Each structure stands twice: as structure tokens, then as C-alpha cells.
């Protein structure tokens, strides 16, 4: 019992220490220093309901996004599609498929796509619109391989192509993800680590950057010189995640053995290159592998103006998430439905829905 209480206390202490460390001093603000922000949006109704705690979770198709090592334990051909209706008509979508190959490991393919929807072109001369329309869309296509390195250690790797489009301008590069999950064998504790979006820079290029420049304004007869505007290049949002998951109740549970009930506690530390480190927490209850109830959230740090003291202060706030999952085993395979609602502060609550099949 003392060991079990120690593990739970360790998770609580880690959560509190991350929150305290980030909240005491105002860190350097790194917001706006990288491109391809769509790579930071979570995918899957299960993972997002748990506050994004997925680094130490395996056996889920959404691991193609969170931690490529997680697909190694998938035993059946599996498919998942996820949809999030973001703000201002923006949609964020994920599609993934995993094919297990026995002792050879598992292979997966994934697509993440974000679309702004159609927007009307405006100019200085026509601020109300020109009648032409454009959209902004982002795309990431990944190929993933994961396998058991030992009977308790999983490893995975993803190679992906990333592209961003703004009207007729395009930026593209290649990146990769690395991940690992360790089943410690101690009180059902699993540890996970992943590094996402390590790759080249993004730089917009396209025909609208071609301009004609007058190199001699003093000579009205001088021919215009065809030129191209040079855009800056931007790094990808490199994300390092480390997580812990343990079953409090279940088969091999820390506090109670149960074949029909499972209660899992999860904790992640999410450290992106263009934002501050954030602790994430999650708790999942599952009954008979059919019904799941989930809750969690993450701490976000904001620079807020204190009107009483007339100064800027660095504050932290917990943003909750909730969700439910249903699994239905049929003769042809397994059907999975997951729903999550996440608090996005001034944007309100955002919904994430995912549907999966295993056969």
C-alpha cells in the first residue's frame, strides 16, 4: 500500500512542481516564433478529453500523432477519423490507418488537414471585397513504423511531409517524430516520451511574390526589373512530451483488482519550442471495455494586465476537458466512438469527435 500511495503522490508532486515552476517567474515569451501551428492541435476524442495525455498510451490509432511507439501494440487492422470544429469556421481533421505485421511490428499512415474555409479577397482599393475568394489550408502526411524492441519497451518513428498554403503561396518541408513507451512492470506504470516535428524550415513561395521593381526612380523611361519578394523562413514547432500512466483499478490495478472496471490516471509534460512547458492531467474510467468516461485538462500560462497594480503579470490557469467513449464489438470487428469538449477560454468550448474501426 505504501508503494501505491508513493506512486500517486509522485504524480501529484510532478504536476504541482511544473505548475509552480512556470508560475513563479515570467519566462521568455516564445509565441509566434514558429510556423505550422496546426501541428500542435490534438487529435482524437479520447486523447483530447484526457487533456492531451497520450505520451504513455499505446494501442490507439491516434498514437500516429501523439507518440509513434504506441501503434506497436495494435493487434488488428485499425482505422480512425477525427474532426474538430475550431473557431471562425476553421476545421481540423485527422485520418489514420494502422496495419499490424506480427513480429515485424506495425505500419501506419496518417493525414492531418486544417482548412480555413473560403474567405473573400480584399484590397486597399476594395476593402469590402473583390468578388474573388481564397482559403488557407495546412497538410501533414505521415508514414509510421512501430514495434516491440523488448517485451516491455516499444519504439516508433514517423516520417512526414508538411505543407502550408495561403492562396497561391506555398511552404513545405519534411520532418520526423520519434517515440518510446516503457512498461516498467512496477504497479502497472507506463512511461512514454516523444519528440515531434523535428525537421526543416517553412518558407512561403509563389507567383504573387513576383513583382516589377523600378530600380531608377529618377529616370521615368527606365525599364521595370522583374523581381521576387524574399520571405522569411520559420522553424517548425518542435514538441517534446514525457508522460506517465497507471491503472488505479483494473487488471493489475494499484488499489483494486477488477476484470470489469478500469480507472487510469495519466500525467504528461508538454514542452513546445514556441511556448511554455505545460503539465497535462487526465483520468479515465472504463466499464467492461464498452463505456468510458474521461476528464482532464492542461495548465496554460498567460501574460495579463493587472489593472489594480498597473503592471503585467504572468498567470496560470487550468483549462478542463471532458469526454465519453463507446466501444461496440460486432461479428465483423470493433466500432469505436469518442467525443471530447475542451475549454478554449475566450473561444468557448470546442468539440472533437472521432470514429474508429478495428477488424
* pLDDT tens-place string over residues 117-148: 888 888 888 888 888 888 899 999 999 999 99
Structure confidence at residue 89 (pLDDT)? 84
Whether residue 223 lies inside any domain: the answer is no
Please tell me whether residue 9 adopts helix, strand or coil conformation: helix
d(CA 263, CA 258): 10
Of 18, 20, 37, the C-alpha closest to 244 is: 18
d(CA 161, CA 141): 5
Of 34, 355, 28, the C-alpha closest to 196 is: 34
Question: Picking from 2-11, 84-93, 298-307, which range would have the lowest pLDDT averaged per residue?
Answer: 2-11
Structure confidence at residue 134 (pLDDT)? 85
Whether residue 181 lies inside any domain: the answer is yes
pLDDT mean over 212-235: 80
Residue with cell 519566462: 27
The grid cell for 354 is: 472521432
Domain range enclosing 53: 2-200+235-358
Whether residue 215 lies inside any domain: the answer is no
How many beta carbons lie within 10 A of that of residue 189, not counting itself?
A: 18
**Do the beta carbons of residue 291 and residue 285 sit within 8 Å?**
no
Whether residue 75 lies inside any domain: the answer is yes
Q: In CATH, what number is assigned to the domain containing residue 300?
A: 2.40.160
Please tell me whether residue 147 adopts helix, strand or coil conformation: strand
The one-character DSSP state at 41 is: S
Whether residue 170 lies inside any domain: the answer is yes
Give the confidence band of 214 by pLDDT, cuts at 50, 70, 90.
Answer: confident
Higher pLDDT, 1 or 324: 324
Whether residue 281 lies inside any domain: the answer is yes
Express as a percent the part of the chain with pLDDT over 70.
87
For the entire predicted model, the pTM comes to: 0.86
The grid cell for 150 is: 523488448
Whether residue 305 lies inside any domain: the answer is yes
Whether residue 320 lies inside any domain: the answer is yes
Q: How close are the terminal C-alpha atoms of the chain, in Å?
A: 40
Domain count, the chain: 1
Amino acid at each position: 500500500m505504501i508503494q501505491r500511495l508513493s506512486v500517486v503522490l509522485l504524480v501529484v508532486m510532478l504536476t504541482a512542481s511544473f505548475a509552480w515552476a512556470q508560475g513563479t517567474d515570467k519566462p521568455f515569451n516564445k509565441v509566434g516564433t514558429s510556423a505550422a501551428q496546426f501541428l500542435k492541435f490534438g487529435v482524437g476524442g479520447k486523447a483530447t478529453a484526457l487533456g492531451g495525455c497520450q505520451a504513455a498510451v499505446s494501442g490507439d490509432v491516434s498514437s500516429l500523432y501523439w507518440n509513434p511507439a504506441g501503434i506497436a501494440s495494435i493487434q488488428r487492422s485499425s482505422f480512425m477519423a477525427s474532426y474538430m470544429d475550431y473557431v471562425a469556421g476553421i476545421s481540423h481533421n485527422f485520418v489514420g490507418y494502422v496495419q499490424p505485421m506480427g513480429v515485424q511490428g506495425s505500419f501506419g499512415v496518417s493525414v492531418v488537414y486544417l482548412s480555413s474555409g473560403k474567405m473573400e479577397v480584399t484590397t486597399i482599393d476594395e476593402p469590402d471585397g473583390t468578388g474573388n475568394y481564397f482559403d488557407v489550408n495546412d497538410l501533414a502526411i505521415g508514414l509510421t513504423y512501430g514495434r516491440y524492441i523488448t517485451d516491455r519497451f516499444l519504439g516508433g518513428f514517423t516520417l512526414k511531409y508538411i505543407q502550408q498554403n495561403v492562396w497561391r503561396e506555398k511552404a513545405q518541408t519534411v520532418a520526423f517524430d520519434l517515440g518510446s513507451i516503457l512498461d516498467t512492470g512496477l504497479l502497472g506504470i507506463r512511461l512514454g516520451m516523444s519528440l515531434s516535428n523535428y525537421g526543416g524550415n517553412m518558407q512561403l513561395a509563389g507567383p504573387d511574390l513576383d513583382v516589377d521593381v523600378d530600380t531608377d526612380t529618377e529616370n521615368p523611361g527606365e525599364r521595370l526589373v522583374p523581381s521576387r519578394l524574399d520571405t522569411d523562413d520559420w522553424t517548425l514547432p518542435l514538441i517534446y512530451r514525457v508522460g506517465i500512466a497507471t491503472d488505479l483499478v483494473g487488471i493489475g490495478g494499484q488499489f483494486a483488482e477488477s476484470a470489469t472496471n478500469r480507472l487510469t490516471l495519466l500525467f504528461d509534460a508538454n514542452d513546445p519550442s514556441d511556448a511554455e512547458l505545460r503539465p497535462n492531467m487526465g483520468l479515465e474510467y472504463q466499464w467492461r471495455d464498452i463505456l468510458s468516461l474521461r476528464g482532464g485538462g492542461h495548465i496554460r500560462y498567460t501574460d495579463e494586465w493587472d489593472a489594480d497594480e498597473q503592471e503585467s503579470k504572468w498567470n496560470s490557469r487550468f483549462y478542463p476537458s471532458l469526454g465519453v467513449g463507446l466501444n461496440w464489438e460486432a461479428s465483423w470487428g470493433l466500432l469505436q466512438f469518442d467525443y471530447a469538449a475542451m475549454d478554449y477560454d475566450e473561444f468557448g468550448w470546442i468539440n472533437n469527435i472521432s470514429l474508429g474501426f478495428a477488424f
